[in-house]
Amino acid sequence: MSQYELLAELLPPSSFGLSEEGVSVHRGGTLPTVPPYIVGEGISEEGGTPQEFRSDEEAIDERLHFRGSEAHIRDNSVRIHFEAEEPDIWQTGQELLDKVLQHLSVSRGGVRFSYRVLGIEGEDGKTRTLESITWRVTWFYLDQLRDAIRNLGPYVDLSDARLDAALDYYEHALWLRERTPAPEEIRLEVRHARRMVSSVFLNLWKAVTVIVGDPRERDAQSRYRQLALARDFAKRYRDLTVLRNDADAAHHALNPERVVALAEAQDQAQDTAREVISAYRTFLLAGNQLAAR
């Protein structure tokens, strides 16, 4: 095995007495007499208590040894020296850093420490990095948006426990999905990213299940017919359920290989949830009710 050194930035920098965008930083044990307020992307201190940062002498500068490795934390930067085989260096380095920060979050209390990997240096003097370019594209369709807004009234008037639960699951899935790292960024916090992918899928699946029930239930087909769902809905729903179970999406021990499949199936799961919720709203507006399960 060869020697490597992982370099990372620890977050949040404010916990190390350093400035942080959008955060008012103060020494522990003090309370701003007049809280600063946000102006654009910065902090306005006009009329408020000035921020206070750590002095040069106070900067964190600590070394620790664990699992045959050494970590040097200086301010909010960390270097972890470890041994590994070339194909496993990213996984090995990040697993070590994950474990350090998990325990630090418990010991410090009230702060979740995370990180951004900057690179890994090898004995050959080369720094390995995983370059990525991330960007977002938005397409707007004003006619569809206008029609959707105009038709909202009757739906908002609906009062139904199943519908409310499905809407909550669906919205939470979208909220999580907005915050889930892109595939090329998942390396930054792979454990959390996997669970976010799993949670997105699980909430979309629940949005369907709370209305039509589990596909294994004997009367499931009758509910599909009542809601006038597409003829291939039963198969699509079964496929999503099989994927959920194979990936152990509802449990701690996620199947890493199947998490990729969950990510790839998110669009299908989202479309299916939207299809069921839309059909159920139409069903309720017609004065119908599904039988209690």
Dihedrals phi, psi of 215, to nearest 5 degrees = -65, -15
Dihedrals phi, psi of 70, to nearest 5 degrees = -130, 135
pTM comes to 0.68
- Predicted confidence at residue 137, as pLDDT, reads 61
Cis peptide before 12 (omega within 30 of 0): yes
Beta carbons within 8 Å of 240's beta carbon, 6+ residues apart: 205, 208, 265, 268, 269, 272
Domain ranges for the chain: 2-18+54-128, 142-285
**pLDDT tens-digit map of 256-281:** 667 778 888 889 999 999 999 999 99
**pLDDT tens-digit map of 40-93:** 555 555 556 788 899 999 999 999 999 899 999 999 999 999 999 988 999 899
- Predicted confidence at residue 132, as pLDDT, reads 54
- Predicted confidence at residue 274, as pLDDT, reads 92
Beta carbons within 8 Å of 128's beta carbon, 6+ residues apart: 89, 90, 119, 120, 121, 122
Q: How far apart are alpha carbons 290 and 293 in whole angstroms?
A: 9
**pLDDT tens-digit map of 225-248:** 999 999 999 999 998 888 887 766
Residue 49 and residue 32 in contact, taking contact as beta carbons nearer than 8 Å = yes
- Predicted confidence at residue 147, as pLDDT, reads 87
DSSP string, 172-192: HHHHHHHHSPPGGGGGGGHHH
Residue 198 and residue 247 in contact, taking contact as beta carbons nearer than 8 Å = yes
**pLDDT tens-digit map of 165-184:** 999 999 999 999 888 766 55
**pLDDT tens-digit map of 195-222:** 888 889 999 999 999 999 988 888 888 9
